[in-house]
Amino acid sequence: MQTMAWIILVAILAVLGFGGWLVRKRWVDRARAASAREAEFIMKLAPAPPTMAATPREDMGSLAQQKLLFEAAAKAAEAGEPVLSIQLYARLLARYPDSGFAAQARSAVEVQKKKLAKG
């Protein structure tokens, strides 16, 4: 008789444990659903995020390319090659019109054009 009481007690504890597990699982699912609904509601109320600027961010690779083109054009000018220098400055300005080197390149092109006209 005592064995039967233990079996019934273990069965009752198992049923209560399983029932508690089911209740907790349902509670967690409802909490997740409520949090998802809340996030969706907030997203509907929030203003649209700002758009990116029209000019793309210059990365280090393009800055290195700009510097190389500018230095090559300057060395060509020092070597007495105004045509090559003008071509390199033109390539720099065509690829990177808003570059930090653009103003210097434009003034150097004018100088090289004057040298070309004299020579």
pLDDT tens column, 5-45: 999 999 999 999 999 999 999 999 999 999 989 888 888 88
Per-residue tokens: 78? 């020092």
With contact defined as beta carbons under 8 Å apart, do 106 and 90 qualify? no
Q: pTM value?
A: 0.49
pLDDT tens column, 40-71: 888 888 776 665 554 455 566 788 888 898 99
Instruction: Say if residue 31 is exposed, middle or buried (CB neighbours under 10 Å; 0-12, 13-18, 19+).
Output: exposed
pLDDT tens column, 64-107: 888 898 999 999 989 988 888 999 999 988 988 888 888 889 99
